[in-house]
Chain A
Amino acid sequence: MSEVLENINPKLYEKLDDRLITIDDENEDVVDEFDSREIFDLIRNINDPEHPLTLEELHVVEQSLIKVDNKKNTVMVNFTPTIPHCSMATIIGLSIRVQLLRALPSRFKVNVEVSPGTHNAESAVNKQLADKERVAAALENSHLIQVINQCITEK
């Protein structure tokens, strides 16, 4: 990571309360379908690569920007870089992708994209994150996977 922080003073946001466990959640006979809250809980505590803060605290990820379609097995996550020229955008997106790749059943197709209009290299970042071959190659890079694992590991 660079010595100089790109975004010196990021805006901070409140954390969401823990999910309330309902009776249905504990009933084994009721099928719990994946919902946006569940996906959010999987990625909210990913650490920002430069700040000792979570993606939730920086509003990089928000529950309202997650779409789940259980029938089509698709998950769409939009994330919002803290600044439009954030050089960490790809690594943040990759961390979200890796976390969901590991946590979700393999039937899910996960798309991770920059929230429209929030980054000046939006389409290039999106294209790279959508290219599973490049993602696979990146995950064989021991340095990169170390950085990603550091982001993903809850502090």
Chain B
Amino acid sequence: MSAALALGDDALVLSHRLGEWAGHAPVLEEEVALANIALDLLGQARVLLSLVGDEDELAYLREERAFRNLQLVEQPNGDFAHTIARQLYFSVYQHLLYERLAAGDGRFAELAAKAVKEVAYHRDHAEQWVLRLGDGTAESHGRMQAGLEALWRFTGEMFQPIEGLDAAGTTAAADAADATDASATAGTAGATTTTEAAAAIGTAGTDGSGVDWAELEGAWLAAVTATVERATLTLPTGARTGAWAAGAGRQGLHTEPFGRMLAEMQHLHRSHPGASW
């Protein structure tokens, strides 16, 4: 069940970042599109987090060390090209992953089958913008390339197996250890309920979706490369894994901007303990 937390946190955090665009988009149609994608992701997050516990307790009362999202999705928006680069990397990953989950018979199959339609649209939106920006003007080309470069180091993390989606290496013990970690780092206000949620994680079995992570990574690289090249851009060459690349969000190690994002997101909810809204 830590898989639901990981996938739910990805959707929750990226949705939040996209929500920051409201009122700031380059054209009205993008106000609609970015909000639409943000809403889809928020919907997915709510379903996934509800599998683990109370969606609001999980969203608002965990501290950053207990979040399991990829570092990629927590990255600040930057300019429009930066946002689109993040969206391309993530949407292609999410689309390919959900396609595989939907095809399997694991506990996420039904949910993924529903979400995959939304995600296909997100992917198309991102790919179309990579083409327009890459093959638009000299300035947009430069900005799109810079966006791809800046976020490249966060892409290796996507293919680290997620416990519960990994057919081979999952054990209940690993899930329990993960859950203990989550409860130990939870904020005081949410400690009780997060512990309950963690207990739920610990007792849940594996999903058995059997995602082949190496195969997923290959498919992702092929898809991203095709789009990048068609957009007259160059695939970045920097490291995607290893000491100097990012990638421990799934273990609750995040980047500096994430804490600020959570502070803003959680402030009101935390200011009124126990209130309902």
| A and B found bound together | no
Q: Could you tell me which B residues sit within 8 Å of A by CB distance?
A: none
Q: Could you tell me which A residues sit within 8 Å of B by CB distance?
A: none
